[in-house]
Amino acid sequence: MTPANSTSPTGHRFGRPPLLAAESSIAPRTFSGSQAFQPVPPANGPYPYRMDLASVIGADATAAITQTGSITFHLMGDTGGVAHPAPQKIVAAKLDADLPDPAFLYLAGDCIYYNGELIQYSDQFYEPYVNYPSPIFAVPGNHDGDPLPGATTLDGFLANFCTPTPQVPSQGQATGRSTMTQPNVYWTLTAPFVTIIGLYSNVPQHGQLDDTQVSWLHAELAAAAADTAVIVAMHHPPVSSDSYHGGSQYMYDLLDAARAQTGRTPDLILGGHVHNYQRFTRTITSDQGDWQVPYLVTGNGGYWHLHTMATDAKAAALPWVLPGHADVQLDAWVDDRHGFMRMTASPGQVSAQFFTVPRPQEPWSNPVAVADGFTLDLTTHQVTTVAPPPAPA
């Protein structure tokens, strides 16, 4: 529960105390009149809202990925470079230089600040990623879906990520990048070695899904290919030990209900919303043994305002078991730099590295640094932390 602002006898209100991880890492929902649930717009494609990577990059390129035996792609969230665009520009430049041919970039929401405005897509999307050589997919965040007065929810997102056919929009003319043809604001990406089920967790703090999307989630989780890594992506993270937003018990419980309904446990959970990087491991005990699931927060992809970790989390030795949640531990975090994640999925393993980038006041030519890494064995479902290399002397 978000703590209340302090109030003086005269009715003046001052700051609220920062959240503690012990109380808010998996917190109940809070409601605000300025964060109202927005009706989900009609889908752009047919149910069950799946899009195969081959429909975007072509059959030959997809076959080439399959032949290599693995797929490598980028992940991050909260990218919009409004007000102070330098962090987004730095992250984008380092993404361009990271791989010669990534399969795609996947954004975990809040692509455009502050209200997903169509007019902002040129500066906050097309220009920063003008050189990114691959598709960019996304699910919307609360800022993408919270409309200004007189506008309709997700207008900008639909016009740039969910068009019937690819087209170069007016806001992207200078770059030549076409719109994406995602079938819905919640949808499933199928690709060699990985399936990403993308949820739209809407506008209210800690997220909210309607019954239609919940039913769809259950169906897609049950239908996901058994021989691929299954990632469930959303904007509001189920777990977060930051001092500003905290994690969402609503999303946490919703995923548990989906597991119980379908008998299928996702291999990895991806969120944004909190403007830093965090990695948790949740251990789910069953008759088949302990099943470890990484829960990631990747919300420092470009928006300028970073969120610090809660003081009790910052002081803890890692790995840190969350108070009150013996099955969840915090393994790694970065709250003072922006960055991005590179992930590789193969038939037996998922491996990932999180890279930090130079701060705006540092030389932008400085190299990226590996801040965290892990592997997930898809056979034993055990997570292994890969220590980052030592910093240069």
Q: What is the tens place of the pLDDT at every residue in 259-298? A: 999 999 999 999 999 999 999 999 999 777 899 999 999 9
Q: Are 271 and 58 in contact (CB under 8 A)?
A: no
Residue 81 located in a structural domain: yes
Cis peptide before 303 (omega within 30 of 0): no
What's the total number of domains in the chain? Answer: 1
The answer to whether the pTM exceeds 0.85 is yes
* Encoded amino acid at 84, one letter: H
Residue 264, domain extent: 37-385
**Alpha-carbon distance 194 to 186, whole Å?**
17
Angle at 272 between CA 266 and CA 274, to 5 degrees: 130
Domain with residue 242: its CATH number is: 3.60.21.10
Which pLDDT score is estimated for 31? 60
Residues 47-75 as b/e (b if ≥16 CB within 10 A, e otherwise) read: eebbbebbebbeeeebeebeeeebbbbbb
Residue 228 located in a structural domain: yes
Between β-strands 339-346 and 325-334, what pairing exists: parallel, antiparallel or unpaired?
unpaired
Residue 329 located in a structural domain: yes
pLDDT at residue 33 tops 60:
no
- Give per-residue pLDDT as tens, 95-145: 999 999 999 999 999 999 999 999 999 999 999 999 999 999 999 999 999
Q: Are 2 and 16 in contact (CB under 8 A)?
A: yes
**Alpha-carbon distance 102 to 281, whole Å?**
26
- Give per-residue pLDDT as tens, 188-229: 999 999 999 999 999 999 999 999 999 999 999 999 999 999
Residue 107 located in a structural domain: yes
Residue 32 located in a structural domain: no
Residue 26 located in a structural domain: no
Share of the chain above pLDDT 70, in %: 98
Task: Tell which residue, 291, 268, 283, 276, has the closest CA to residue 343.
Answer: 268
Mean of pLDDT values over 331-349: 98
Residue 28 located in a structural domain: no
